[in-house]
Amino acid sequence: MQVAREIAHRNLGGALKAFANLLLSEASLLEERAHPEHREEHARQQNRQVEQSRHVGSGTQADKCPCPSEHEGNPEPL
C-alpha cells in the first residue's frame, strides 16, 4: 500500500509540473497575441541566449568563465 502511495505521489508531482509548464506556455502565447510587436524582440533575445550558451558551453573553465583572470593556469574543463 505504501509503495502505491509513493508511486501516486510521484505521478501527481509529474502531472502538476506538466500542467504548470502548459500554463506557462499558454501565458506566453497569449502575451504574444496581445503584443505582437514584442515577438521579434523576444526571438532576438532567445537567439542571443542560444549563441551565448554555445560560446560558453565549449572550451576550458577559463574560457567559460566571464572573469578568466581568476582561472589562469587552470585549463581543466568544467
Cell of 78: 568544467
What global pTM score does this model have? 0.38
Q: Residue 72 above 80 pLDDT? A: no
* Domain assignment present for 63: no
> pLDDT tens, 16-52?
888 998 999 898 888 878 887 777 777 888 788 888 7
* Domain assignment present for 68: no
Q: Residue 6 above 60 pLDDT? A: yes
- As for how many domains the chain has, the answer is 1
Report the distance separating Cα 9 and Cα 38, nearest Å.
40
* Domain assignment present for 71: no
Query: 14, 48, 42: which is closest to 29 by C-alpha?
Result: 42
* Domain assignment present for 74: no
